Each structure stands twice: as structure tokens, then as C-alpha cells.
């Protein structure tokens, strides 16, 4: 193997097997793919130890991808349930799975997840450091943190969220610009605790070259985490968030200098009128790197419906530059999601991603909608169900209310506008 990472290969003009897999799914010329991987505008997370991976690209000119979060916790430690979520996520066409486990034998679960998953796998090593060592956060050593990063890389994790931009300067911005909800990122809060208690700089920022060496060795994509993302609308686009984003932009350049692929993680709660500006800021400050957003959630008052609030924000965000949407379920802010919550979150995120792809003019995106519209005009129910994003739900709705005329539905019955106008406008002779 003459190249260390997908980025290094692209810079040598080498079309890797993973790039060929991306070309199967995407309507992009191979020369454009090579150029955008080489300059960092597309990332292909593909750890060399993830043997059954079917690689996908994230970034400029590609379809918007979606991620599913899952994993075991102390309060909900059912490994079989979480593995079933992994399988179901793949069936529901998620593009990535993040294992956020914080309890039990996290390595066994992570290895099994990698083993059964053809989709890319992400993790947050800081979570696992707490679970693995059983220490107070402040007592975890720098070497402990990096040992966990190496373990995740060895296990085949394709991308890792590392909150390297949460520096002491950013913390000072947070203190001098008080927030309503402080720090809502779990990884961000853990590092804030470590830095404050030990009166030290963020170890991942201070030893960033050490992190790059590990990522390059296994071709792990860095997902630079937003430890200071806003946790409510009032805190959106504030000084601390932007301070961290500036640092992430600087770290992006260091990643590319080391042939390491990188994505940038973005805000969680953002008023609708600030979503586009946030996308523009990230793309500008982080030099066009792929952008990975949680939602964003556009109102704080809809617990139980946050898959909808995030789909609204996600569609707008992706239409204006976000490349990767992290799903949000109805259980957000309330509890660990179950399998039904997970499905609702996946479908909502897929709707947002597809709507954005149409808006961005991704080649071929609207063809799916045109095919559905043709089937609707023809009242071809079988084709409509086959084309539906969730065929089972569509079939169940129709089966629950049967019309007298099986060609139409019970909304209009004999007054079906589609049937009537078709008969008039397509009348032969």
C-alpha cells in the first residue's frame, strides 16, 4: 500500500477501492472526487481495520448523509437491544452509526458493532476513557486518553469525535460571556472538568500532533467536536461557540498538512433565522471542510417531538452547506431512545437530507420524487409503496381505511381530483 490515508492517496492520484465504492452511489466524476478528497472538501471515513465497510463519502457535491447514535449506558445496559438497533439502523438505510457507550464491556460491544456493520462507525473516546478506567475525570492521565484513542482505532472505528477546540481561551470566553445552559456537550463537559480541576490545557489540543499520528496510522477521520455547541436558542452563535470554531478551523489545516481527513461538528440548538449564517461561518472559518450537525434543533419547547424540530433545522442546514446530519429522536432530552424512537429519528433525518439534496441540486436527487409523482398520477399503489421512504407505514395507513373504489383513497373517494383530471386531460381520441 503506497498511501497512508484516503487523502494521501487522492493527492497521489490513486483511486482507492473505497473511492470506487463512493462512485457507485454518487453521481460525481472520479476526477472531481479525487480533487475534493485531496483538498479536504470530501472525507471518506474508512479505517483500514474495518474489513466489511462499504465506504461512503461526506462532503461537497455528494448526497447528505445521516448518522445514528446508540450504545449502552449504566441505566440502560442491554447489549442485545443495542445490537438490534445497529442492525435495524442499517436496514433503515442509515449511513453511519456512532457508538456512544459509557458502561460495561464497551470494547466487546464496539468490536461487535464494527464486525456486523457495513456502514461507517464513529465513537467519542473521552466517554470510553471514563468507562474504561473507572477514575474521577480529573485523575485520567494524558496517556490514558490517548491509549483509548489507539484502542478505538485498532478496533476499526472510522471516525472519532475529539473536542480539541475547547481550549483554555475558549473556556475564558465562556466565563466572560455567561450562558443560560452552560456546556451541554457530554465530551465538552468532561474535558472542561479535567482542564479546570487540573489547571491545564486540553490534552487533545496540546498534543494534537500525537493525535494526528494515530489517525494517520489507521486512516481514522477526525470529527472535530463542538464541545461548546449551544444547548438552547438563547446561547446560539455566541462568543464561546465562535471562539471554538476559529480554533477548529486552525486545526483543520493541521489535519490536512498531515494527510488526515477531517470533519467539523456543528451547533445543536439554533433559531431558524441563524441556521444559514452558522453554515456560512463554518464553511468560511473551516475552509470548506465537511460539516456535521446535530439537528440543529430550532425550538426548545417540543420535547417528544424533537425529531421534527431537528428535521426542520437539518433540512435548512443541509440545503446551505451541512454535509452530514446526526439524527435526533422523539426521546431527545427525555430518555435513551428505544427502537421505535430510533426509527422515527432515522426517517425524519432522511427526509431532511433528501429535501436538502433536492435544494442543493444534487444530480439525480429529484428523480425519486418524479417517479413517485408519476405513480400517484397513475394511482399505482404498488409502485407508490415501493418508492416510499417507509413502505410499511404507508401500506398500514392505506390498509386501515379502505375505499369503495380501490383505485382511489378515502380522502376524496369519487371526488378524486387526480383520477378526474387524468381522465379529462389524457382522454384518447
Domains of the chain: total: 2
Segment (H or E) for 144: helix 142-154
Residues 415 and 354 in one domain: no
CB 70 within 8 A of CB 89: yes
**Rounded to 5 degrees, what angle do the CA atoms 149, 210, 201 make?**
90
pLDDT over threshold 90, residue 127: yes
Which residue ranges make up the annotated binding site for substrate?
Answer: 69, 98, 127, 163, 185-187, 226-229, 265, 292
Which residue ranges make up the annotated binding site for Zn(2+)?
Answer: 269, 333
Which residue ranges make up the annotated binding site?
Answer: 69, 98, 127, 163, 185-187, 226-229, 265, 269, 292, 333, 409, 412, 416
Residues 338 and 191 in one domain: yes
The rounded distance, in Å, linking the Cα atoms of 417 and 37 is 49
Residues 399 and 320 in one domain: no
> Is 396 within a domain?
yes
% residues pLDDT > 90 (the chain): 94
Residues 167 and 90 in one domain: yes
Distances in Å between the Cα of 162 and the Cα atoms of 112, 122, 129, 148 are 22, 11, 12, 12
pLDDT in tens, 357-404: 999 999 999 999 999 999 999 999 999 999 999 999 999 999 999 999
> Is 205 within a domain?
yes
Grid cell in block for residue 38? 485531496
The rounded distance, in Å, linking the Cα atoms of 295 and 318 is 10
CB 152 within 8 A of CB 128: yes
Q: If you average pLDDT over residues 157-166, what whole number do you get?
A: 98
Bridge partners (DSSP) of residue 248 are: none
Grid cell in block for residue 140? 485520567
Which residue ranges make up the annotated binding site for [4Fe-4S] cluster?
Answer: 409, 412, 416
> Is 37 within a domain?
yes
Give the residue from 175, 172, 160 showing the smallest Cα distance to 247.
172
List the domain range (segments joined by +) for residue 420.
367-425
> Is 62 within a domain?
yes
pLDDT over threshold 60, residue 1: no
Q: If you average pLDDT over residues 39-51, what whole number do you get?
A: 98
Q: If you average pLDDT over residues 1-27, what whole number do you get?
A: 94
CATH of the domain at 323: 3.20.20.540
The pLDDT score that the predictor gives to residue 3 is 84
The pLDDT score that the predictor gives to residue 103 is 85
Residue 153's Cβ-count burial label (10 Å; 0-12, 13-18, 19+) is buried
Bridge partners (DSSP) of residue 292 are: 265, 324
Residues 270 and 402 in one domain: no
Residues 340 and 406 in one domain: no
Strand pairing report for 58-59 and 42-43: antiparallel
Look-up of cell digits 429529484: 366
pLDDT in tens, 303-356: 999 999 999 999 999 999 999 999 999 999 999 999 999 999 999 999 999 999
- Domain final residue pick, 360, 378, 412: 360
Residues 307 and 414 in one domain: no
pLDDT over threshold 80, residue 77: no
Residues 201 and 304 in one domain: yes
Residues 40 and 164 in one domain: yes
Q: Is 270 helix (H, G, I), strand (E, B) or coil?
A: coil
pLDDT over threshold 70, residue 428: no
The pLDDT score that the predictor gives to residue 404 is 92
Q: 25-60: buried (b, 16+ CB within 10 Å) or exposed (e) per residue?
A: ebebeeeebbbbbbbbbbbbbbbbbbeebebbbbbb
Residues 279 and 385 in one domain: no
Query: What's the predicted TM-score (pTM) here?
Result: 0.96
Residues 151 and 73 in one domain: yes
Split at pLDDT 50, 70, 90, the class of 429 is low
Tell me 386's DSSP state.
Answer: H
> Is 1 within a domain?
no
pLDDT in tens, 229-269: 999 999 999 999 999 999 999 999 999 999 999 999 999 99
- Domain final residue pick, 345, 360, 375: 360
The rounded distance, in Å, linking the Cα atoms of 369 and 366 is 5
Q: If you average pLDDT over residues 88-99, what whole number do you get?
A: 97
Amino acid at each position: 500500500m503506497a498511501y497512508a490515508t484516503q487523502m494521501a492517496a487522492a493527492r497521489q492520484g490513486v483511486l482507492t477501492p473505497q473511492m470506487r465504492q463512493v462512485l457507485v452511489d454518487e453521481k460525481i466524476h472520479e476526477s472531481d472526487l479525487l480533487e475534493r478528497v485531496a483538498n479536504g472538501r470530501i472525507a471518506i471515513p474508512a479505517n483500514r481495520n474495518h474489513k466489511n465497510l462499504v465506504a461512503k463519502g461526506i462532503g461537497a457535491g455528494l448526497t447528505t448523509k445521516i448518522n445514528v447514535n446508540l450504545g449502552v449506558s449504566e441505566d440502560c445496559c442491554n447489549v442485545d437491544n443495542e445490537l438490534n438497533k445497529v442492525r435495524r439502523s442499517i436496514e433503515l438505510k442509515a449511513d453511519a452509526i456512532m457508538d456512544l457507550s459509557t458502561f460495561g464491556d464497551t470494547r466487546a460491544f464496539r468490536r461487535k458493532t464494527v464486525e456486523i456493520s457495513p456502514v461507517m462507525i464513529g465513537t467519542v473516546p473521552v466517554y470510553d476513557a471514563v468507562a474504561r478506567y473507572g477514575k474521577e475525570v480529573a485523575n485520567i492521565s494524558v496517556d490514558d486518553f490517548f491509549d483509548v484513542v489507539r484502542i478505538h482505532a485498532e478496533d476499526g472505528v472510522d471516525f472519532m469525535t475529539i473536542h480539541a477546540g475547547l481550549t483554555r481561551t475558549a473556556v475564558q470566553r465562556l466565563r466572560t460571556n455567561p450562558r443560560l445552559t452552560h456546556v451541554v456537550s457530554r465530551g465538552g463537559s468532561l474535558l472542561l472538568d479535567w482542564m479546570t480541576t487540573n489547571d491545564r490545557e486540553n490534552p487533545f489540543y496540546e498534543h494534537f500532533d500525537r493525535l494526528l499520528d494515530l489517525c494517520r496510522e489507521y486512516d481514522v477521520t477526525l470529527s472535530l467536536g463542538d464541545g461548546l455547541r449551544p444547548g438552547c436558542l438563547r446561547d446560539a452563535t455566541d462568543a464561546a461557540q465562535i471562539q471554538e470554531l476559529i480554533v477548529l478551523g486552525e486545526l483543520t489545516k493541521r489535519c490536512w498538512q498531515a494527510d488526515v481527513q477531517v470533519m467539523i461538528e456543528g451547533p445543536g440548538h439554533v433559531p431558524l433565522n441563524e441556521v444559514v449564517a452558522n453554515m456560512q461561518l463554518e464553511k468560511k472559518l473551516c475552509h470548506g471542510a465537511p460539516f456535521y450537525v446535530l439537528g440543529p434543533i430550532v425550538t426548545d419547547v417540543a420535547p417528544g417531538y424533537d425529531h421534527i424540530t431537528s428535521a426542520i433545522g437539518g433540512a435548512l442546514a443541509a440545503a446551505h452547506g451541512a454535509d452530514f446530519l446526526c439524527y435526533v429522536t422523539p426521546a431527545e432530552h427525555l430518555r435513551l431512545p428505544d427502537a421505535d424512537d430510533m426509527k422515527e429519528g432515522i426517517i425524519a433525518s432522511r427526509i431532511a437530507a433528501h429535501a436538502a439534496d433536492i435544494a442543493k441540486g444534487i444530480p439525480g436527487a429529484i428523480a425519486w420524487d418524479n417517479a413517485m409523482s408519476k405513480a400517484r398520477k397513475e394511482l399505482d399503489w404498488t409502485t407508490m409503496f415501493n418508492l416510499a421512504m417507509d413502505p410499511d407505514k404507508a401500506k398500514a395507513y392505506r390498509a386501515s381505511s379502505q375505499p369503495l373504489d380501490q383505485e382511489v383513497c378515502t380522502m376524496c373517494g369519487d371526488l378524486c381530483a387526480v383520477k378526474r383530471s387524468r381522465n379529462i386531460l389524457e382522454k384518447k381520441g
